[in-house]
Homo-oligomer: A and B are copies of this chain.
């Protein structure tokens, strides 16, 4: 699970579609100018997103992209995984230095941690983000789901954004 600007672009772009698709397909050119991401880069990203059925396309004038399924059924993890390559293999695969299991320990702990992050991102859907964008203050339900045991002092107030 990699978290880079690439995944962020993908999430941003698909959220842009989600927010506006009521009025029909959204063209990449529109997303490009709104989100300030180059058109060609968006083409690369949406090609992958489409391959994973996260979006569907409408060709021709007035065409563009629509969500491939309901926002409830699209989670953040799958968006990020869709645009990142097959998630490169474990470091030790094939190498001799993991034969006794001992040296694999931290390696697998990291993998485990990575799974936790992925689970976490899987638990957040596009619908959740849409909700947040329509909610002036974060609801308690969301809050609990997102934050676990931590202090809420840095919780984002979406008010100023809308």
Residues of A within 8 A of B (CB): 1-4, 8, 11-12, 15-16, 19, 33-36, 76, 91-92, 95, 97, 101, 103-117, 119-124, 129, 132-133, 145-150, 154, 156, 158, 160-162
CB <8 Å contact, A108 and B158:
yes
List the number of copies, as a whole number: 2
CB <8 Å contact, B107 and A123:
no
A156 to B146, CA, bound (A): 22
CB-defined contacts of A113 to chain B, threshold 8 Å: 11, 76, 124, 129
Most buried by B among A15, A33, A105, A149: A105
Min distance, Cβ A116 to any Cβ of chain B, angstroms: 5
